[in-house]
Amino acid sequence: MARNNSWQEYQKDIADDKYFYVRSCIRQNFFPGSERVFLNILRNDLGLDVKEEAIHTSCTGIGYHSDIVPLETIMAVVARQFALMTEAGYENFISSCITSFGIYTEILETWHEFPETEERAREDLYKATGRVFNKPKNLAHTSDIIFHHREKIAQKAKFRLINSKTGEPLKVVDHIGCHYAKLFPKKGVGGSEFPYVIAGMVDSWGGDIIDYPERRHCCGFGFRNYLVKANRGSSVANSQKKFESMAPYKPDLIVGNCPGCSMFLDKWQYTIHEIEGVAYGENNRGIPTLTYEEMAGLVLGYNPWDMGMQMHQIDVEPLLDKMGVNYDPAEKYLGVNGEYIGRPEDASINTNCY
């Protein structure tokens, strides 16, 4: 009983429907289909109302965390995003990026603790744009939304996170990202100690979550750690620490919650292999790294190439084969209209020919 009561403290309220959606700045570059898959799942598979405004901007979080964008500026930018939501008649604000989610959470908390900063932001926004806004009734990250509807997705599942040949659950490593729950632990499902937002999806869809020692360790993005080239050795070392910690459990896939983390957990595997010749997956190859939307899309039977999974640094075919997903290898490098988009040179981590 005490345990159940305690666990309640780690839950968060997530709205059921009518979402105002804002995108990530960077993830469409390396996981280009994830956001479209998210919208398709919510609108077409679950029949939910999601509004997106083409005129919304970056939250400027990367600039803020790099000491380029001042606090007053980012507050005005966030106020404008909320104004767009208010003008569209929505109250539930959902963000596709962990950095942005952390920014929105931090600013709402700041406005709560220091109301004069909210007044200043309202004034700045009005003077600059003539807009006014209501604060969101509910703020969530898009993984919270998938988590919230995970059982409905499970009911529609065409594939499960199960090895189709052996019948064993796939072993999944999750990474929720520091700004999801380390800034404000009560704003994330499970807090930062008991990350459950992705683990909950994996539980519902048949996989096994690996609780490996460095599960809560930072991926190394850290903004300044990565943006300054000379610091990237520190950045990659963080991801390497995680890979070394997870490798003994022989994970079948990594699922990232945060755009930057997913990118690094995918691409640093290539970097480490090129520099040191080390790989952490089966047969001295990489571990496929997915976003949670891609994982949900595979479960629902979406075509992996329509989801942009050919853009992954680590090939996803070994995972697709395990899940029993049907795919056409010839379609991998075809664009939207069936036009050949070119095949990049094979990376040694994908061919095991280092």
Partner 1 sequence: MSWGYTINRARDIDMDRNDMTISKLILEKIPSLQGCIACGACVATCSTGALTKYSLRKVHTLVRRGEYSGLLDELNKCMLCGKCQLVCPRGINTRAVISLIKRELGDHR
* 266 contact partners, CB below 8 Å, separation of at least 6: 30, 254, 256, 289, 312, 313, 314
Rounded CA-CA distance 249/83 in Å is 47
Check the CA dihedral 297-174-263-352 and report its sign. negative
According to CB under 8 A, which one of 73, 138, 234, 348 is a site residue for partner 1?
A: 234
Q: Does 229 bind partner 1 (CB under 8 A)?
A: yes
Cβ at position 337, least distance to partner 1 in Å: 35
Q: Would you give the distance in Å from CA 224 to the centre of its chain? A: 20
Q: Is 61 exposed, middle or buried (0-12, 13-18, 19+ CB in 10 A)?
A: buried
Q: Which is nearer to partner 1, 91 or 214 (CB)?
A: 214
Count Cβ atoms within 10 A of the Cβ of residue 93 and give its class: 0-12 exposed, 13-18 middle, 19 or more buried: buried
Q: Which is nearer to partner 1, 203 or 214 (CB)?
A: 214
Q: Is there binding between residue 3 and partner 1 (CB under 8 A)?
A: no
Site for partner 1 in 238-267 (CB under 8 A): 240-241
The C-alpha atoms of residue 163 and residue 207 are separated, in whole angstroms, by 9
Task: Provide the minimum distance between the beta carbon of 233 and partner 1 in the complex, in angstroms, as a whole number.
Answer: 4
Q: Minimum Å distance from CB 223 to partner 1?
A: 16
71 or 228, CB closer to partner 1? Answer: 228
Radius of gyration of the chain (CA): 20
Counting contacts by CB under 8 A, is residue 232 touching partner 1? yes
Stretch binding partner 1 (CB under 8 A), from 130-138, 168-176, 228-236, 284-292: 228-236
In the complex, what is the shortest distance from the CB of residue 220 to partner 1, in angstroms, rounded to a whole number?
10
Question: Cβ 235 to partner 1, closest distance in Å?
Answer: 9
Among 70, 115, 233, 324, binds partner 1 (CB under 8 A): 233
176 phi/psi in degrees, rounded to 5: -90, -15
User: Of 238 and 262, which CB lies nearer to partner 1 in the complex structure?
Assistant: 238
In order of 158, 263, 329, 342, the CA distances from 309 in angstroms are: 18, 12, 12, 15
Alpha helices in the chain (DSSP H): 2-8, 27-30, 34-40, 61-65, 71-88, 98-113, 115-129, 142-148, 150-155, 178-181, 197-204, 224-227, 232-246, 259-276, 292-299, 317-323, 348-351
Number of residues lying near partner 1 (CB under 8 A)? 15
Nearer to partner 1, 132 or 237 (CB): 237
Q: Which is nearer to partner 1, 277 or 335 (CB)?
A: 277
CA 76 from centre of chain: 25
Among 16, 237, 277, 331, binds partner 1 (CB under 8 A): 237
Q: Which residues ranging from 265 to 284 are in contact with partner 1 (CB under 8 A)? A: 271-272, 274-276
Span from 99-107, 235-243, 294-302, 319-327 in contact with partner 1 (CB under 8 A): 235-243
Give the closest residue to 126 by CA, choosing from 84, 80, 89, 93: 80
Q: Which residues contact 83 (CB under 8 A, 6 or more apart)?
A: 125, 129, 131, 132, 133
- Nearer CB in complex with partner 1: 204/240: 240
Name which position in 2, 54, 55, 230 contacts partner 1 (CB under 8 A): 230
Contact pick of 15, 140, 236, 254 for partner 1 (by CB under 8 A): 236
135 vs 217, beta carbon nearer partner 1: 217
Q: Return d(Cα 34, Cα 315) in angstroms, integer.
A: 16
Binding segment (CB under 8 A) for partner 1, from list 18-26, 232-240, 251-259, 322-330: 232-240
For residue 82, what are its two tokens? 């909320």
To the nearest whole angstrom, how small is the minimum distance from the Cβ of residue 236 to partner 1?
Answer: 5
Nearer to partner 1, 163 or 240 (CB): 240
Residue 181, both tokens: 């729950």
* Chain residues in the site for partner 1 (CB under 8 A): 229-234, 236-237, 240-241, 271-272, 274-276
